[in-house]
Amino acid sequence: MAAEDGVIALPAPANPRASVIIAAGARGPLLERCLERLADVQSETVPFETIVFIDGAGEEEAERLRARVTGALIEASKVELGLAGALNRARERARGEFLLSVHDDAEVEPGWLEALVAAADGDPQAGAVGSLVLHLDGRVQAAGMELLPSGFTRPAWGRSVRDLDRVQAVDQCGSSSLLIRASTWDEIGGADEQLYPLYYVDVDLCVAILARGQRVLLEPRSVIRHHRGASTDRAFARFVSRRNQEIFRAKWGELVTTHTPGSGVVAPSADGSLPPQEREPDPDLQERAQLERALETSRAYARSLQARLARRDALLDRLRRIDTRLDELTRGGWKSLRR
């Protein structure tokens, strides 16, 4: 727990059963609050280690956090690797039977970890287990998701919250609090780094799990509160989400378009083949690849903004022509009225 001198003391067990991985894009108060909550809810029954990977901040930021936090492994990259890249890098240091992604703007509740592990222990076919995600005021933010043939996702409960008193199979749970068996993670091949910098990484992981005949579970007794989108520009977030949705659909093809939403099952292809997870295990090559993705993402976003500006200018030009014509028809009356 947080000591009087401001140090956040996290457990450092010799043999952790779970490895909590925080791929930190946001720094400062949100990340520190996330770590404080982890320290406050230390489990007596499930020993866990904490790995913080500060994405794109460099060693100076890692040293600053190490001065505030004990018991955690804290690493950083100078290059922004994105969520998938950071998770893959952190997995190399994880020792637990379970890998547990937690977002840096999440706050875990007491019993959160125990419930996830119990659900996984109770179902050997469960490759992943996700938490019930609440807004800060207690409203439900996510309780599992259904995957649509379009590649979009929607809440698993439809228009009303129900069935939140039991473990249930879902199509997908978000990476804000998502437990994945380490053996399942390695069988899949890790997170797909082409889904840069974030969005659809968790959808892709869950589909990869389902396509191998395993299950994705929602455990509503595991609860977190999430500052949704606290560290992401909304316009850029919409752009990246749409772009990664297209990458996701192109990758999975018929397996997604023929999927029955909410079934918790993805039928394998006729020949049994599955698309690979695109990742680069060599750190130097990974950084180069992600830099190239960052450049292409920025260029694509700039092109989308230029297209929006062009459409806006075309609309303004049309409105000016209409304005001029109305003024001509009314012999100046339209201009007076407009004023």
Helix (H, G, I), strand (E, B) or coil at 61: helix
11-274 is a CATH 3.90.550.10 domain: yes
Tokens of 16: 């952790």
Mean pLDDT across the stretch 99-120?
97
Per residue in 313-335, pLDDT (tens digit) is: 888 888 888 888 888 888 777 77
Mean pLDDT across the stretch 102-128?
97
User: Which of 3-12, 25-34, 188-197, 230-239 comes out lowest in average pLDDT?
Assistant: 230-239
**Dihedral (C-alpha) 113, 114, 118, 120: value to the nearest 10 degrees?**
10
Residue 234: the pLDDT is: 82
In the chain the first and final C-alpha atoms are separated, in Å, by 65
Residue 229: the pLDDT is: 62
Instruction: Match 């499930």 to its residue by tokens.
Output: 46
Dist CA 286 CA 313 (whole Å): 40
Tokens of 171: 């199509």
Q: Is 157 left (phi over 0), alpha (psi -120 to 50) or beta?
A: alpha
Tokens of 46: 């499930």
Let me know: does 229 contact 241? Beta carbons within 8 Å: no
Residue 182: the pLDDT is: 98
Domain ranges within the chain, ordered by starting residue: 11-274, 290-338
Dist CA 135 CA 112 (whole Å): 16
Judged against a pLDDT cut of 80, whether residue 280 lies above it is answered with yes
Residue 317: the pLDDT is: 86
Residue 322: the pLDDT is: 84
Dist CA 150 CA 70 (whole Å): 45
Per residue in 208-249, pLDDT (tens digit) is: 999 999 999 999 999 999 987 655 678 898 999 999 999 999
Judged against a pLDDT cut of 90, whether residue 295 lies above it is answered with yes
pLDDT band at residue 27 under the 50/70/90 scheme: low
Let me know: does 182 contact 197? Beta carbons within 8 Å: no
Per residue in 241-279, pLDDT (tens digit) is: 999 999 999 999 999 999 999 999 998 877 888 999 999
